[in-house]
Amino acid sequence: METKNTLVMDAQILDAHGLRKGSLLIENDKIIEVSSSISPAGVDKVINAQGKLLIPGLVNTHTHLSMTLFRGVADDLKLEKWLNDYIWPLEAHLNGEYCYAGALLGCVEMIKSGTTTFNDMYFYMDHVAEAVKEAGLRAVISHGMIDFDDEEKRKAEIKESKRIIKKCHGGADGRIRVALGPHSPYTCSRELLEEVRGLADEHGLLIHIHVAETEDEVRQVKEKYGLGPFAYLDDIGFLGEDVIAAHAVWLSSSEIHILRSRGVKLSHNPTSNMKLASGVSPVEELLECGVCVSLGTDGPASNNNLDMIEEMKIAALLQKIKSMDPTSLGAEKVFEMATINGAAALGMVDEIGTIEVGKKADLALINTRKCNLAPWRHPVSHLVYAASGCDVETVLCDGEILMENGKLKSLDEKYVIELAESAAEELTSKA
């Protein structure tokens, strides 16, 4: 492969290590130098970052990307009604082409708001992988498995997951990894969960699952198994450092101890939890106990966007209201949740999440010369509390420039929107 160099010059660099001024040199997919001054001589591409804020590409640790097609279709409803009466009937008519169109739209939205890596659970995941490949993003994908104690359904779900592993794992030059995606303890049988655990151990894969999202879920699991969701999963030997659990709203103190002792990673989804009135996860307590908590948007049908910068602000504000303490979950902590904690949750802490030599060149450049960011004083505070995804100007993933000065380079935005609009119209007409 021919060597390709990109230089990002004169940026304010912000990551979990703090704020500093400098430049960085990228060779192919990796950062090879970060210093106060780097000569542009012989460099293929120079990005002038003067007056800009350079951050690691944001990491969205829980979403259902193709649900962009369901955006706004069923709002202001309780989770059970939302799922049973609207979402699941629509999903019965999904196909690979629809999921590709929805995923492509989601990729555009994430690039434009600074997300470079995401953790996705849904259906027709080989078609989602194709969208990821074309967009240039980094993703962990999993087929969402539900069996409701049906043995034939369980066999089919495992078969599909194995197909996706074989077809997609390591795709797009390593940017795509496959995880296992049992939906939740109340929609998956013990047999399915135990088989997933075995497959994860056999193939060295992550497990992506919804747990303890609502009080009703906790009630159902307790009625069936006599334990709370996390206690039940621990009892059957399911939990481990390779498990990333979304939501984790309704937790007992003993379950928090289980999470810490087993090394389980959590994805906090504040906007979705608020919109569906699921509750407020005890994020501050979890972090203080040493649990790795990252940040996710959930799907575009329950958020209703994929803007991780907005998600940071909502996460911080929600914890302040929960504790009635304005010092709870400060800007620095929530920024770490969206970057280095997300990298840790996905097993990529040595590759992404901070801006340092040897890591992948997954970066987002924020235009600080915007009215909503003036006067420019405290970068991390402004990023979390004043910025939005619309302030992202340039994005790189794996060293490739996906958007420059607000213009997408990897995808045709107009075409993607038209494709998604057509798919959504066809899908809703069928349902």
In a domain, 334, yes or no: yes
Q: Are residues 47 and 177 in the same domain?
A: no
Structural domains counted in the chain: 2
The pLDDT value recorded for residue 298 is: 98
Distance CA 402, CA 138 (A): 12
Confirm whether residue 268 is marked as ligand binding. Answer: no
Q: Are residues 322 and 390 in the same domain?
A: no
Distance CA 363, CA 381 (A): 19
Confirm whether residue 143 is marked as ligand binding. Answer: no
Q: Are residues 52 and 160 in the same domain?
A: no
In what side-by-side order are the strands of the sheet with 207-211? 207-211, 243-247, 265-268, 293-295
In a domain, 37, yes or no: yes
Beta strands in 158-242 (DSSP E): 176-178, 181-182, 207-211
Q: Are residues 388 and 273 in the same domain?
A: no
Strand partners, 266: 245, 293
Distance CA 143, CA 415 (A): 27
Find how far residue 163's CA is from the centre of its chain: 23
SS3 335: helix
In a domain, 35, yes or no: yes
Q: Are residues 114 and 189 in the same domain?
A: yes
Q: Are residues 286 and 404 in the same domain?
A: no
The pLDDT value recorded for residue 158 is: 98
61: DSSP letter: E
Confirm whether residue 257 is marked as ligand binding. Answer: no
Find how far residue 105's CA is from the centre of its chain: 15
| Residue 266 neighbours by CB under 8 Å, 6+ apart | 244, 245, 246, 248, 259, 281, 286, 291, 292, 293, 294, 345
Confirm whether residue 217 is marked as ligand binding. Answer: no
In a domain, 430, yes or no: no
Per-residue DSSP letters for 235-297? Answer: HTT---TTEEEEE--S--HHHHHHHHHHT-EEEE-HHHHHHTT-----HHHHHHTT--EEE--
Contact 179, 141 (CB under 8 A): yes
Amino acid type, 252: S
Distance CA 394, CA 7 (A): 13
Q: Domain of 215?
A: 58-345
180: DSSP letter: B
Please list the ranges in the chain whose pLDDT falls under 70. 1
Instruction: Kindly report, residue by residue over 144-159, the tens digit of the pLDDT.
Output: 999 999 999 999 999 9
Closest CA to 113 of 58, 54, 176: 58
Confirm whether residue 307 is marked as ligand binding. Answer: no
In a domain, 99, yes or no: yes
Q: Are residues 171 and 222 in the same domain?
A: yes
Closest CA to 49 of 16, 17, 21: 21
Q: Are residues 197 and 64 in the same domain?
A: yes
CATH number of residue 406's parent domain: 2.30.40.10
Instruction: Kindly report, residue by residue over 93-124, the tens digit of the pLDDT.
Output: 999 999 999 999 999 999 999 999 999 999 99
In a domain, 428, yes or no: no
Q: Are residues 177 and 250 in the same domain?
A: yes
In a domain, 173, yes or no: yes
The pLDDT value recorded for residue 53 is: 98
The pLDDT value recorded for residue 74 is: 87
Q: Are residues 224 and 311 in the same domain?
A: yes
The pLDDT value recorded for residue 1 is: 59
Distance CA 252, CA 231 (A): 9
Confirm whether residue 130 is marked as ligand binding. Answer: no
Confirm whether residue 382 is marked as ligand binding. Answer: no
Residue that finishes a domain, picked among 345, 379, 401: 345
The pLDDT value recorded for residue 83 is: 85
In a domain, 429, yes or no: no
Q: Are residues 198 and 119 in the same domain?
A: yes
CATH number of residue 255's parent domain: 3.20.20.140
Predicted TM-score (pTM) of the model is 0.98
Beta strands in 16-98 (DSSP E): 18-27, 30-35, 45-48, 52-56, 58-63
- The helix (run of H) or strand (run of E) holding residue 179 is none
| Residue 54 neighbours by CB under 8 Å, 6+ apart | 8, 11, 12, 13, 14, 24, 355, 363, 364, 365, 366
Count the residues in the chain.
Answer: 431
Instruction: Give Dmax over CA atoms of the chain in angstroms.
Output: 68
Q: Are residues 144 and 266 in the same domain?
A: yes
